[in-house]
Amino acid sequence: MTESSGPAHRPSAVPGPWSVPVLLRPRQPRVVVKADLLPAVSVLGTLSILSFPLAFLWSRIAPPERVRIIGSDGTQGALELESWHRFDDLAIFGFLTLGLGIVVGVVVWLMRERRGPVVFLAAVLGVALASVLAMLLGVGWANSHYAITSAPALGSVIELAPRLESWWVLITGPFGVAVTYSLLTTWNGRDDLGRRLG
């Protein structure tokens, strides 16, 4: 009976002289800049046009603040709870721009051949520009819509135009684009974000 001298020896994993070297490594997708510049400019310009309907919608649905004329010189007295509409105006504008940002993030993601940081940055800047223009236009249109054409009588109640008293509300639109696009990118999980249609 022959005794085993030790554990069985296995062949080592070190490549031998007949191993095939790797000559071609898989190419890592690179960021496309030049080809995406023109679509990015188109996205930026198109989004700036959306400021007009956004401003008009806000100027019509934002609630005015009602005040009472308490002096012969036009001194105004606040009515109970009416000052809350100043926050309502800000919140409505913020939700409108946030919704615009979410929709833009999804639509830009559906531009499959142009997915990447260039068009993404154009979408963020475009929504930011549309928000700024909508803020300026919306306040102007609201002022003209609630314009007082004659001197109000003493004791009468008038409506003051909606107003936006904080520029911080402008971050909601770009925030919506960034979060939506980032979630879709994470969900996709491909190195090239699925740009290749094949």
For residue range 134-177, list pLDDT tens digits in order.
999 999 999 998 888 777 778 778 888 899 999 999 999 999 99
Task: Assign 196 a pLDDT band (cuts: 50, 70, 90).
Answer: low
Higher-pLDDT residue of 97 and 190 is 97
Residue 27 lies in a domain: no
Residue 13 lies in a domain: no
Residues in the chain, how many?
198
Residue 22 lies in a domain: no
Work out the widest C-alpha separation in the chain, in whole angstroms: 124
Helix (H, G, I), strand (E, B) or coil at 28: coil
- Cβ-count burial of 120 within 10 angstroms (0-12 exposed, 13-18 middle, 19+ buried)? buried
What is the reported pLDDT for 128?
Answer: 97
Q: For tokens 């993030």, what's the residue?
A: 105
Higher-pLDDT residue of 116 and 94 is 94
pLDDT at 86 over 80: yes
Residue 196 lies in a domain: no
Residues of the domain holding 86: 37-184
Residue 125 lies in a domain: yes
What is the reported pLDDT for 21?
Answer: 56
Do 66 and 79 meet the contact criterion of CB atoms below 8 Å apart?
yes
Do 156 and 82 meet the contact criterion of CB atoms below 8 Å apart?
no
What is the reported pLDDT for 20?
Answer: 54
Cα 85 from Cα 33, distance rounded (Å): 45
Residue 150 lies in a domain: yes
- Phi and psi at residue 107, in whole multiples of 5°? -65, -45
What is the reported pLDDT for 18?
Answer: 60
What is the reported pLDDT for 198?
Answer: 43
What is the total count of domains within the chain?
A: 1
Tens-digit pLDDT profile for residues 10-54: 555 555 556 555 555 555 656 667 777 888 999 999 999 999 999
Residue 24 lies in a domain: no
Task: Identify the H or E element spanning 143.
Answer: helix 117-145
Residue 53 lies in a domain: yes
Tens-digit pLDDT profile for residues 44-80: 999 999 999 999 999 999 999 888 887 777 677 777 7
